[in-house]
């Protein structure tokens, strides 16, 4: 459609039409029609509103397009009524994608706007939602604080449903806190109290959907307390509410767990199978993950280890694909590290203050002693001069120590801030962009009937490469956020990579062994830990890609004062003298040199390959 001219009255009429539409497709067409008018120069308000309604037409599908158009609307609408929902809707979309820092930023903007415009009901909504975001970021105490503030306003407004949401979110936060605090019974009592209030208020308003959710939450709390009779009562009460089938997967899993823990294995199997069908039908992969894990537990209890292994592999496969959960944990880990650095800095500042006070007291004491000594006996003037000089030297030494301590604090601050900034930039910008690439490719594949096999293969290769890059980026962020990497951290990362490698080629048998003489309390620098992990990953990758191996072993041992990582396979091997060295082998050697380690490669045609990294 080309550019058109229209009168101001025509454009206003189109905008009024747009505001009354309900169908997303019609809203999109009408908004685009307005934006294509040529005489809109200077009409920022009309353009901004058109972008807002265009964004809202994508909103329900949680599309990143909505974010793009909301941002354009925000730039043009300085103070318009639609802004009371624009920031909030952006926050909601970021939350769905587990982009919690962005979600928090937009929720706080929404709160600030609605406070300035004295929109009390929206202020209440924003406060409660900020509490919800804190809960998703594992900041449970902050979630309780925000929802308590929101509850005060909800009571003032006499908004029963708003009160129900506040009570429910407080209850969920207490339930999580109780679990973190070694299953603290008092905190569980608080969780049950607030969830019951949420259920009662939801019933008063006739909101059966939220009542169903709170019953399920109450049942889950009782299940954690091992009060399975009460847990079953509330879980069945939740399932008895008609409708809401797409949300019942997690409740069915909870009921299956109750039957499992009470020894009713046949009933547990039926319920968990029903939960699995529900999660597959409605695409709720997070709950499908839990269903696979409970089926795995059931098979173990029934000594059916073959099915137990199958269900556990399916569970791990889904767990690895849920990158958003990984992202949430990375954000929480970064926050915790920042808090730890803050505490360490406070301790150093306290020590510095004490050192300054000691220095002042010592100076006063020495002056008094000097005056007394001078008054008592003049014969020891020479000795006193000597002592005075000695005291000055000590003072200079202490001042130098004080300056060094302050410099160390400043250096640590800058280093920590730089680490967090780089880590955050990698995670927030590059990670989000890579995820967007995968999402875009998937949208292309499902949105268009692509019959060209070469194009399909190329898109699949790009998606696989991008997924691989995300995993490497996650490892890099993990290393950057740690001053020291323990042997246990490294062992876990190696095990996870082996599990993924096994999933990619089930025909290859893997073995990972740590000999008893290895000191598992060993710690590596972040550079050492990252390079060790990358060398092992590259070695396993080469064995899978080139060696046609049937078995790959990773063995860790202690030789003299060194830790040795040996990666071996029974593949075709190669002639070290004749093989064309690629980036893989060169990169492994460079990484070993960077950490002052040595890399020894042994191979021969038909004899397999052994790579030994000594650190």
Residue 484 is inside which H or E element, if any? strand 484-486
pLDDT band at 89 (very low <50, low <70, confident <90, very high): confident
pLDDT for the residue numbered 493: 81
Instruction: Report the alpha-carbon distance of residue 98 to residue 109 in Å, rounded.
Output: 18
Q: Of all residues in the chain, what percent are helix, strand and coil, respectively (each to 5)?
A: 75, 5, 20
Q: What is the pLDDT of residues 145-204, one digit of tens each?
A: 999 999 999 999 999 999 999 999 999 999 999 988 888 889 999 999 999 999 999 999
- Contact assessment for residue 558 and residue 515, using Cβ atoms and an 8 Å cutoff: yes
- DSSP state string for 506-565: TTSEEEEEE-TTS-TT-EEEHHHHHHHHHHHHHHHHHHHHHS--SEEEEEEEEETTEEEE
The residue assigned the tokens 């025509």 is: 10
Least confident segment among 160-169, 419-428, 572-581, 591-600: 419-428
**Separation CA 569–CA 554 (nearest Å):** 9
CB 566 within 8 A of CB 523: no
Read off φ and ψ for residue 513, nearest 5 degrees: -130, 135
pLDDT-based confidence at 477, cuts 50/70/90?
low
Q: What pLDDT is attached to residue 352?
A: 57
pLDDT, position 461: 66
CA torsion sign, 360 to 362 to 368 to 374? negative
Mean pLDDT of 501-506: 75
What is the residue whose two structure tokens read 């639609």? 82
- Do the Cβ atoms of 459 and 441 come closer than 8 Å? yes
In the predicted model, is pLDDT for residue 39 greater than 60? no
CB contact set of 284 (below 8 Å; sequence gap of 6+): 246, 247, 249, 250, 278
Banded pLDDT at 435 (limits 50, 70, 90): low
pLDDT tens-digit series, residues 366-375: 677 667 877 7
- Report whether pLDDT(592) > 80: yes
Mean of per-residue pLDDT scores for the chain = 79
Q: Highest-confidence range of 1-15, 54-68, 276-290, 403-417, by mean pLDDT? A: 276-290
Q: What is the mean pLDDT of residues 453-482?
A: 66
Most confident of the following: 65-79, 132-146, 311-325, 563-577: 132-146
Rg (CA), the chain: 32
Q: What is the pLDDT of residue 4?
A: 45
Helix (H) or strand (E) holding 107: helix 100-116
Lowest mean pLDDT of 48-52, 91-95, 352-356, 446-450, name the range: 352-356
Give me the pLDDT at residue 324, please. 47
Q: Mean pLDDT throughout 81-89?
A: 79
The whole-number pLDDT of residue 269 equals 93
**Pick the residue with more confidence: 504 or 487?**
487
Question: Which range has the worst mean pLDDT, 222-236, 297-311, 436-450, 498-512?
Answer: 436-450
User: Nearest-CA neighbor of 52 among 10, 23, 90?
Assistant: 90
> Is the pLDDT reported for residue 350 higher than 70?
no
Q: Tell me which residue of 130, 206, 204 sits closest to 169, measured CA to CA.
A: 130
- When mean pLDDT is compared over 35-49, 119-133, 470-484, 540-554, the highest value belongs to 119-133
Predicted confidence at residue 425, as pLDDT, reads 54
Contact 590, 615 (CB under 8 A): no
Indicate the pLDDT class of residue 341, thresholds 50, 70 and 90. very low
In 3D space, the residue among 52, 85, 84 whose CA is nearest the CA of residue 68 turns out to be 52
Classify 104 as helix, strand or coil: helix
Q: How many CB atoms lie within 10 A of CB 54?
A: 25
Residue 77 in this model has a pLDDT that exceeds 90: no
C-alpha 193, offset from chain centre: 30
Helix segments in 137-227, DSSP class H: 140-157, 160-180, 185-205, 208-224
| 400, 432 Cβ separation under 8 angstroms | no
Using a pLDDT cut of 70, give the percent of the chain over it: 73
Higher pLDDT, 314 or 11: 314
Residue with the larger pLDDT of the pair 4 and 476: 476
Model pTM above 0.85:
no
Residue 86 corresponds to which tokens in the numbers above? 């624009």
9-13, 396-400, 451-455, 510-514: least confidently modelled range: 9-13
Q: Write down the pLDDT at residue 344.
A: 52
Mean predicted confidence (pLDDT) in 271-297: 87
pLDDT confidence of 92, banded at 50, 70, 90? confident
Structure-model confidence comparison of residues 226 and 456, the more confident one: 226
Residue written as tokens 């550019």? 3
Q: Read off the tokens for 91.
A: 């926050």
Residue 488 scores a pLDDT above 90? no
Structure confidence at residue 130 as a pLDDT band (50, 70, 90)? very high
* Angle at the Cα of 495 from the Cα atoms of 492 and 498, rounded to 5 degrees: 155
pLDDT given for residue 338 in this prediction: 43
pLDDT number for residue 343: 54
Kindly state the percentage of the chain with pLDDT values over 90: 25
Q: How confident is the model at residue 467 (pLDDT cuts 50, 70, 90)?
A: low
Note the pLDDT of residue 15: 67
The predicted model gives 96-104 an average pLDDT of 83
Are 442 and 460 a contacting pair, CB within 8 Å?
no
**pLDDT tens-place string over residues 303-335:** 988 888 888 888 888 777 664 444 444 444 444
Model confidence at 607: pLDDT above 70:
yes
Closest by Cα among 326, 340, 327 to 100 = 327
Query: What is the pLDDT at residue 594?
Result: 87
């Amino acid at each position: 459609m080309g550019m058109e001219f229209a009168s101001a009255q025509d454009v206003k009429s189109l905008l009024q039409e747009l505001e009354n539409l309900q169908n997303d497709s019609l809203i999109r067409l009408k908004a685009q029609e307005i934006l294509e008018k040529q005489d809109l120069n200077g009409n920022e308000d009309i353009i901004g509103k058109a972008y807002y309604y265009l964004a809202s037409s994508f909103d329900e599908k949680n599309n990143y397009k909505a974010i793009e158009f909301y941002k354009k609307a925000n730039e043009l609408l300085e103070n318009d009524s639609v802004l009371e929902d624009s920031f909030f809707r952006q926050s909601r979309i970021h939350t769905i994608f587990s982009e919690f820092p962005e979600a928090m930023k937009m929720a706080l903007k929404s709160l600030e706007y609605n406070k300035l415009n004295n929109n009390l009901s929206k202020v209440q909504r924003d406060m409660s939602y900020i509490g919800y975001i804190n809960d998703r970021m594992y900041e449970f105490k902050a979630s309780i604080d925000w929802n308590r503030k929101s509850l005060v306003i909800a009571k003032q407004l006499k908004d029963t449903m708003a009160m129900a949401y506040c009570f429910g979110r407080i209850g969920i936060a207490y339930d999580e806190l109780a679990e973190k605090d070694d299953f603290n019974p008092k905190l569980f009592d608080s969780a049950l109290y607030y969830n019951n209030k949420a259920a009662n208020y939801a019933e008063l308003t006739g909101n059966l959907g939220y009542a169903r959710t709170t019953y399920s939450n109450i049942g889950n709390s009782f299940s954690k307390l091992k009060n399975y009779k009460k847990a079953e009562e509330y879980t069945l009460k939740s399932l008895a509410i008609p409708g809401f089938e797409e949300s019942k997967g997690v409740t069915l899993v909870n009921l299956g767990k109750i039957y499992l823990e009470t020894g009713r294995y046949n009933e547990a199997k039926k319920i968990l199978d029903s939960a699995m069908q529900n999660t597959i039908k409605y695409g709720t992969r997070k709950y499908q993950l839990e269903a696979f894990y409970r089926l795995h537990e059931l098979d173990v209890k029934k000594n059916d280890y073959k099915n137990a292994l199958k269900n556990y592999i399916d569970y791990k496969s889904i767990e690895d694909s849920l990158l958003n959960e990984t992202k949430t944990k990375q954000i929480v880990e970064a926050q915790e590290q920042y808090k730890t650095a803050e505490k360490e800095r406070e301790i150093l500042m306290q020590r510095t203050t004490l050192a300054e006070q000691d220095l002042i007291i010592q100076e006063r004491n020495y002056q008094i002693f000097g005056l007394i000594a001078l008054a008592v006996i003049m014969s020891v003037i020479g000795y006193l001069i000597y002592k005075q000089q000695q005291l000055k030297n000590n003072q200079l030494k202490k001042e130098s120590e004080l300056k060094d301590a302050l410099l160390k604090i400043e250096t640590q601050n800058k280093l920590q801030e730089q680490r967090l900034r780089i880590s955050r930039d990698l995670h927030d910008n590059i990670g989000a962009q890579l995820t967007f690439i995968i999402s875009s490719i998937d949208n292309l594949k499902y949105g268009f009937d692509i019959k060209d096999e070469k194009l399909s293969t190329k898109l699949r290769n790009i998606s696989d490469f991008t997924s691989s890059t995300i995993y490497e980026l996650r490892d890099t962020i993990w290393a950057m956020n740690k001053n020291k990497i323990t042997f246990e951290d490294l062992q876990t990362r190696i095990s996870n990579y082996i599990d993924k490698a096994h999933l990619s080629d089930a025909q290859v048998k893997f073995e990972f062994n740590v000999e008893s003489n290895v000191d598992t309390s060993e710690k590596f620098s972040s550079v050492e830990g990252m390079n060790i992990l990358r060398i092992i990953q590259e070695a396993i990758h080469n064995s899978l890609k080139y060696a046609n191996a049937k078995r790959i072993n990773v063995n860790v041992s202690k030789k003299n004062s060194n830790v040795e990582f040996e990666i071996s396979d029974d593949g075709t091997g190669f002639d070290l003298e004749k093989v064309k060295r690629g980036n893989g082998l060169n990169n492994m050697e460079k990484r070993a040199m960077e950490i002052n380690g040595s890399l020894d490669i042994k191979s021969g045609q038909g004899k397999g390959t052994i790579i030994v990294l000594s650190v």
